[in-house]
Amino acid sequence: MIRYVLAALLTVALLSVTGLALDQTASDNTERELRAGITALEDAGIDLRENEELSPEDHPNPQRVVELEMPADSLTTEGVSQFEVEPVNGTDVSFVRYVLDDGTTHRAIVDERIVYRDATENRSTEIRGSGRQTVTLVLLPDAEGDPVVVADPPEEELYPPGRDTAGRTS
C-alpha cells in the first residue's frame, strides 16, 4: 500500500516539474520566434534604406516584404498580446516592444527608424493577431524629401496612379 502512495506522490511531483519546464520553454520559444522576426524587420529596413533610392513620382516605390510569426498560446509557445514598433524622433532607430500573454514584457532596439503609414508622421506600428503576419516596408520621402522607411503604407503610396501592382502603366 505504501508503494502505491509513494508511486502516486512521485508521479504528481514529476508532472509538476514537467509543467513548470514546459511553461518556461513556451516563453523561450516565443521569444526566439519574435527575436528572429525583429531581426528580419531590421535587416529589411536597413537594406531598403542603404541599397535603394527614392523613386520618381510615376514609378513604384522600393519595398521589402517581411513575414513575422506571432505565436499563438499553446503548450509549446506563449501567446503575444502586444507587438509594437515605435520610431524614435530625430534618430535612425526604433524601439520594439512586445508583451507575452503571461505578462512578460520585452524591449529591443532596431537600427532603423520605421514609421507607420505616413512618412511625414512619427506613428508606431502595431502588429496584432497570431500566426504569420505580413509587413510591407516602403521607402518614401518625408516632408523634407529625405528617405524614410514606412510600414504598411496605403495602397496609393505603393503604386502611384497610372501604375498596376507590377509597376506597369495601366
SS3 string, the chain, reads CHHHHHHHHHHHHHHHHHHHHHHHHHHHHHHHHHHHHHHHHHHHHHHHHHHCCCCCCCCCCCEEEEEEEECCCCCCCCCEEEEEEEECCCCCCEEEEEEECCCCEEEEEECCCEEECCCCCCCCEECCCCEEEEEEEEEEECCCCCEEEEECCCHHHHCCCCECCCCCEC
Mean pLDDT of 70-97: 93
* Residues 6-32, mean pLDDT to the nearest whole number: 71
Query: pTM of the prediction?
Result: 0.78
Of residues 27 and 11, more confidently modeled? 27
Q: Which residues pair with 162 in a beta bridge?
A: none
Residue 154 clears pLDDT 70, i.e. is over it:
no
At residue 90, the pLDDT reads 87
Report pLDDT for 169. Answer: 44
> Domain map of the chain by residue range?
2-158
More confident: 124 or 11: 124
pLDDT at 158: 52
Q: What is the pLDDT of residues 40-68, one digit of tens each?
A: 999 999 999 999 999 988 889 999 999 99
